[in-house]
Amino acid sequence: TIIIVEHDKRFIEIADEIIDIGPGAGINGGKLVFQGTLDELKNVSNSYTGQFLSGKLSLPQKPNDLKKKVDDSTDFLTIKNAKTNNLKSIKVEIPLGMMVGIAGVSGSGKSSLILDTLVPLLQPFFKRGADKTKKKNNENGEEENGEELVEYSGKVSGWEKLDEVIVVSQKPISRVKTSTPASYVGIWDKIRDKFSKLAESKKRKYTSGHFSYNSDKGRCPSCRGTGEQDLKISFLSSFNIVCKECHGLRYKPEILEINYKTNSIADVLNMTVSEALKLFAVDNSISNILQILED
């Protein structure tokens, strides 16, 4: 028996049996929408999966009138002599001011060209506080006309037209196991502070530290605030299971007795952005940041 949790259309289409959960996400999900074969799934009207597989629903396409075309006025970011990893000293011209796709089979050199070549080449020009209009001198003291030479990867020109460079990758936003979106965007301290100021919290002399899953004051002692425990099997690598003591809620039972508008601190952690936005709508210091995530 092979069980696969997968969104890829190809995997769904070759499955002998399909179990579709939904119909939506968060509070709008959690139901068994369908179980059966691919052909049967395509006829289920309340299954987004089935509707997309049948072609009745499709992703919106970019209108032709919004697509930009390369012409004589187009500026380019040019990479020359790129030879990082398997790149064969290639020259690539990337048009600016539009969306550019880098395609190719797995291992063809896409990441080598962009993440391992272009990004390092641009980095010296966009260090915080650097003057990007300043020419860089080579080892002989001669100006290189805005081109940065990195022997192992080539050189880049045309960067002067850029205001800034933002790299978005698949790397996790934090290596800390207990990190959450709320802590990452800076509102978790505000939420903990709000819980500590509730009447029952003051009565029990709870501080904001009691509502931290990183503190011994309030976190579950068994899983240390992660909500998970490592399960090791002799012939397999370890994997995580829900903590048997706190049932994945991260906190001691007494901490979960404190409610803000009927919600415990664990309830807040389990909310979607939309749900949290409604809960903290009157607190601008929290809702303004949540609204950005919602948008």
Quick one: which H or E segment has residue 204? helix 199-204
CATH number at residue 194: 1.20.1580.10
pTM of the model: 0.58
pLDDT tier for residue 180 given thresholds of 50, 70 and 90: confident
Are both 220 and 261 inside the same structural domain?
A: yes
Q: pLDDT tens digits for 97-125?
A: 999 999 999 999 999 999 999 999 999 88
Q: CB within 8 A of 235, min separation 6: which ones?
A: none
Q: pLDDT tens digits for 239-254?
A: 788 999 999 999 999 9
Are both 82 and 47 inside the same structural domain?
A: no
pLDDT tier for residue 170 given thresholds of 50, 70 and 90: confident
* Domain annotation covers residue 60: no
* Domain annotation covers residue 166: no
Number of C-beta neighbours around residue 89 at 10 A: 9
Are both 223 and 269 inside the same structural domain?
A: yes
For residue 62, what pLDDT is reported? 83
Q: How far is CA 233 from the centre of its chain?
A: 30
Are both 198 and 256 inside the same structural domain?
A: yes
pLDDT tier for residue 126 given thresholds of 50, 70 and 90: confident
C-alpha span between 268 and 275 (Å, rounded): 9
C-alpha span between 78 and 93 (Å, rounded): 4
* Domain annotation covers residue 61: no
Q: How many domains does the chain have?
A: 3
- Asked if residue 235 has pLDDT above 80, the reply is no
Are both 187 and 114 inside the same structural domain?
A: no
Are both 231 and 268 inside the same structural domain?
A: yes
Q: pLDDT tens digits for 187-205?
A: 999 999 999 999 999 999 9
What the block records as the tokens of 1 is 């028996």
For residue 141, what pLDDT is reported? 35
Per-residue DSSP letter, 114: I
Are both 189 and 283 inside the same structural domain?
A: yes
Are both 150 and 190 inside the same structural domain?
A: no
- Asked if residue 142 has pLDDT above 50, the reply is no
- The answer to whether 231 and 241 are in contact (CB under 8 A) is yes
By residue range, what is the domain housing residue 21? 9-54
Q: Which of 254, 120, 139, 244 is nearest to 195 (CA)?
A: 254
Are both 108 and 30 inside the same structural domain?
A: no
**Phi, psi (rounded to 5 degrees) for 100:** -120, 125
C-alpha span between 185 and 62 (Å, rounded): 31
Alpha helices in 34-159 (DSSP H): 38-41, 48-54, 110-113, 119-122
